Amino acid sequence: MSLRYLTAGETHGPQLTAIIEGLPSHLPLDFEALNFELARRQKGYGRGRRMQIEKDTAQIAGGVRHGYTTGAPVALIVENNDWKHWQKIMNIEPMEGTDEEKRRVHRPRPGHADLNGGLKYNHKDLRNVLERSSARETAIRVAVGAVAKQFLEHFGIRIAGHVIRIGEIEAPPHNLPLSELARVTEASSVRVADSETEKKMEAYIDKIKEEGDSIGGIVECIVEGVPVGLGSHAQYDRKLDGRIAQAVMSINAFKGVEIGIGFEAGTIPGSQVHDEIVYTKERGYHRSTNRLGGFEGGMTNGMPLVVRGVMKPIPTLYKPLQSVDIDTKEAFAAQVERSDACAVPAASVVLEHVVAWEVAKAFLEKFGGDSIQEIERNVQGYLAQLEEY
Ligand SMILES: Cc1cc2nc3c(=O)[nH]c(=O)nc-3n(C[C@H](O)[C@H](O)[C@H](O)COP(=O)(O)O)c2cc1C
């Protein structure tokens, strides 16, 4: 069965919900680890007040018994603590009251889904768009990805994400092993490995915030332990690099994606781009470099996957940008309620989880089975085949 999920829920509604279908039975789930991932998404220098209101934890409302998946759909719930302040405004029952009482939104924010969604769904209250387009939804995507991460860890596949750039401050390259990178960046307020860069990024975010502005950046995710042959060259929608690119672009505010050296590949000769193939008895076939980020022909090549995404600055600004009121059609300068100045560190956590999901999905397609034991047998058979090759 192929793996899939759907999410539902609004930013000021009672909860976010996800249903995951296609997980095998007998996957042990570590609930603490799952909640740890949710807490990681909430951290980061430059976040606004909402993250202080929410203390995200996931409840499991189906598909798990005595610590293991049963093979039934897994239902996940993340409650919104803020809901208690919004019960009337977000009530599903019809509501009498003024626009003010309903917190009706009629002034679309540039860079957000407000106006497009209002026009498309014929809403005169743009709150009906804003509530769902909010990046609060990434909380439940992290919960879903955390389950995928645990599935991958069971098969020795590990993931770490970190921040490469915030605005004009770039982190220097590092040579840390994956586990060390994860440990060091976890202790950093901006999820960078280098403490000098951390200080510079904090100061830069402060400056941007003082100016009433917002700032984006670049985040990277590395996946190790992925066997050769996930994805396929044989059909456009089976190419795993393409699927990962779609998933990354679906994260709120992400405007670009790179695999390996990415766009740089268009600026240097082929001899400096392609990774030479070598063979040793211990490692089998591998590449002497990893400039292509673990993909050739839409398939994994056994090298670590390296995926980068660029996040634009958050559209809700204290510094007003011009927009048009949908009631009066008059120009106004968009004012702000509450917003993050920089959510790039949080976005690196989201990136890890959407990539984890895509890799887990491709892994299950390759080694498909209804129980963990069946998948283990399939993996063993394939690894034996690779050894003989
Ligand atoms: C972790 C994270 C936090 C975000 N926080 C905010 C925020 O506080 N205010 C805001 O206006 N946009 C925020 N965004 C971005 C918007 O959700 C996003 O720009 C919007 O949904 C429009 O979608 P698009 O930018 O992909 O076109 C955040 C994005 C991420 C990934």
Average pLDDT of the residues in 308-330: 93
Given a cut of 80, whether residue 1 has pLDDT beyond it is no
Judge whether residue 201 has pLDDT over 90: yes
pLDDT digits (tens, 9 = 90+) for 19-56: 999 999 999 999 999 999 999 999 999 777 666 677 89
Q: How far is the CA of 125 from the centre of ligand 1 (A)?
A: 19
pTM score: 0.97
| pLDDT over 80 (residue 338) | no
State the pairing for strand pair 295-296/322-324: unpaired
pLDDT category at 337 given cuts 50, 70, 90 is low
When pLDDT is cut at 50, 70 and 90, the band that residue 360 belongs to is very high
In the chain, the amino acid numbered 149 is: K
| Mean pLDDT within 356-374 | 97
- Interval 113-164: pLDDT, tens: 999 999 999 999 999 999 999 999 999 999 999 999 999 999 999 999 999 9
348 lines ligand 1 (CB under 6 A): no
The rounded distance, in Å, linking the Cα atoms of 16 and 29 is 20
Query: What is the average pLDDT score of the chain?
Result: 95
pLDDT in tens, 262-309: 999 999 999 999 999 999 999 999 999 999 999 999 999 999 999 999
Element (H, E) at 145: helix 137-154
- Residues in Cβ contact with 304 at an 8 Å cutoff, skipping those fewer than 6 apart: 178, 222, 223, 224, 226, 290, 293, 294
pLDDT at 47: 79
Give distance in angstroms: CA of 253 to centre of ligand 1: 5
Measured from the CB, is residue 347 less than 6 Å from ligand 1? Answer: yes
Give the percent of the chain with pLDDT over 90: 91
Q: From atom 17 of ligand 1, which residue's Cα is the shortest distance away?
A: 135
Range 221-235 average pLDDT: 98
